Amino acid sequence: MATYFVRPRLLLLLLTLSAVRVLGAGLGINYGQLADDLPTPSRVSVMLQSLNVSRLKLYDANPKVLLAFSNSNVEFIVGIGNEYLQDMADPVKAQNWVQQNLQPYLAQTKITCISVGNEVFMSNDTQSWSNLLPAMKMLYKTLVNLGLDKQVIVTTAHPYTIIGNSYPPSSGTFRQDIIEYMHAILDFHSQTKSPFLINAYPFFAYKDSPNQISLEYVLFQPNQGMTDPNTNLHYDNMLYAQVDAVYSAIKAVGHTDIEVKISETGWPSKGDPSEVGSTLQNAELYHSNLLKRIQKKEGTPAKPSVPIDIYVFALFNENLKTGPTSERNYGLFYPNGTPVYNIGLQSNVPGIIYSSASNIKAPSTFFSLVIFVIAYLIHA
């Protein structure tokens, strides 16, 4: 009987491939597309599947993206823009949206959630505030009528500014001007068993008060942390404190049965001079340390048995985003598919080589390595 063994160099290569794919497991990423230089969705699909990224959040229901990820293991949150909230409260328009933007793709693409609107309470548009819940309810009713409610849930993503008081975490409360809306939205979540999504950015807190907030505390670096005087729970990072403040705010209005998930968090690699802390080094530290926490599947101090569910913002730098420089520099990747910095996830898998001029794609490094392994085995 022949004896087979793996040569040391090949073993190292195989271990590297395995490690990179394990790092991507469980990672959620926001796939924004406000740019004119991004690779095609099909290229992104190859790239992310090679990294084993399992969850993506869109801000629309882009059919090209949904088709590109057909028969993959990637789960999607699709979005509906704030401008459509009033329409979605109409039963006919809500059903048309689901039948045109959701149903055609469900057999091949794993769409598990609709996020209705985005950060609606960030603006002062009280009409949008009023339209949000009716839109959520009508879309949920439409899913029920079509027999899709067990497959797709309905929620919305909130800005962290919905929290009026966040310190200490056990004293978290919602802003008083939106408390009536929060009551009704939380009742909906409780009834439909859907999660409460929050966009939490410790970067903003540090940027606004760099002399009062420890950089190590917001970057998950070793630090003294803080202890909640009411619960004696210790926090070694701001993100978890923010999440527990949201749990406290939810509890304060009578609910303990709703899970909080982070629909956005991130750190910009570049910013304006006034945007303190917006450096490549800090972005690398924030995301690499956050990825380590995700891999541990740990909960927050107040919810230690509930692994925190996180979507990082964002997949690419987006050059058409308005606002300060930081807005265009939250990406983990440049549009050509190379990493902005090394967080361990993509150190050996830079993704794709993309040329807008030639429109030619080279295979991802992961698949190049697979080809190399096969060739190595053949010629060994």
Q: What pLDDT score was predicted for residue 3?
A: 39
Question: CA 208 to CA 223: how far, in whole Å?
Answer: 20
Strand partners, 355: 360
Task: Answer whether 191's CB lies under 8 Å from 258's CB.
Answer: no
Query: Please, is 257 exposed, middle or buried when counting C-beta atoms within 10 Å of its C-beta (0-12, 13-18, 19+)?
Result: exposed
Q: Where are the domains of the chain?
A: 27-333
Question: CA 81 to CA 117: how far, in whole Å?
Answer: 5
If one compares 48 and 304, the residue with the highest pLDDT of the two is: 304
- Report the candidate in 75, 137, 138 with the shortest Cα–Cα distance to residue 109: 75
Query: Please, is 191 exposed, middle or buried when counting C-beta atoms within 10 Å of its C-beta (0-12, 13-18, 19+)?
Result: exposed
- Report the candidate in 321, 316, 310, 289 with the shortest Cα–Cα distance to residue 242: 310
Confidence of residue 342 (pLDDT cuts 50, 70, 90): confident
Q: What pLDDT score was predicted for residue 343?
A: 80
Q: What pLDDT score was predicted for residue 26?
A: 63
Please enumerate in sequence order all residues whose Cβ is within 8 A of that of 352, keeping only pairs 6 or more positions apart, or say none.
39, 43, 44, 46, 47, 336, 337, 361, 362, 363, 364
Q: At residue 218, what are phi and psi to the nearest 5 degrees?
A: -85, -20
Q: CA of 263: how far to CAs of 161, 204, 243, in Å?
A: 14, 16, 11
Helix (H) or strand (E) holding 41: helix 41-51
Q: CA of 287: how far to CAs of 210, 310, 311, in Å?
A: 19, 11, 11
In this structure, the number of other CB atoms found within 10 A of the CB of residue 322 comes to: 7
- Return the CATH number of the domain spanning residue range 27-333: 3.20.20.80
Task: Answer whether 194's CB lies under 8 Å from 155's CB.
Answer: yes
Question: CA 222 to CA 268: how far, in whole Å?
Answer: 21
Question: CA 255 to CA 186: how far, in whole Å?
Answer: 7
Q: What pLDDT score was predicted for residue 52?
A: 81
Confidence of residue 50 (pLDDT cuts 50, 70, 90): confident
Summarised one tens digit per residue, pLDDT across range 96-145 is 999 999 999 999 999 999 999 999 999 999 999 999 999 999 999 999 99
The token duo for 90 is 């109409």
- DSSP state letters, 202-235: HHHHHHH-TTTS-HHHHTT-S---EE-TTT--EE
Confidence of residue 179 (pLDDT cuts 50, 70, 90): very high
CA pseudo-torsion sign 321, 61, 260, 124 = positive
Please enumerate in sequence order all residues whose Cβ is within 8 A of that of 61, keeping only pairs 6 or more positions apart, or say none.
78, 79, 80, 101, 102
Question: CA 255 to CA 91: how far, in whole Å?
Answer: 29
Q: At residue 210, what are phi and psi to the nearest 5 degrees?
A: -65, -20
Summarised one tens digit per residue, pLDDT across range 261-295 is 999 999 999 999 999 999 999 999 999 999 999 99
Question: CA 124 to CA 255: how far, in whole Å?
Answer: 26
Confidence of residue 380 (pLDDT cuts 50, 70, 90): very low
Least confident of 131-135, 146-150, 321-325, 350-354: 350-354
Average pLDDT, the chain: 87
How would you label 118-139 residue by residue, b for 16+ Cβ within 10 Å and e otherwise? bbbbeeeeeebbebbbbbbbbb
Q: What pLDDT score was predicted for residue 51?
A: 84
Helix (H) or strand (E) holding 29: strand 28-30
156-159-161 Cα angle (round to 5): 140
Average pLDDT over residues 217-234: 98
Helix (H) or strand (E) holding 137: helix 126-145
Q: What pLDDT score was predicted for residue 299?
A: 96
Catalytic positions are 119, 264
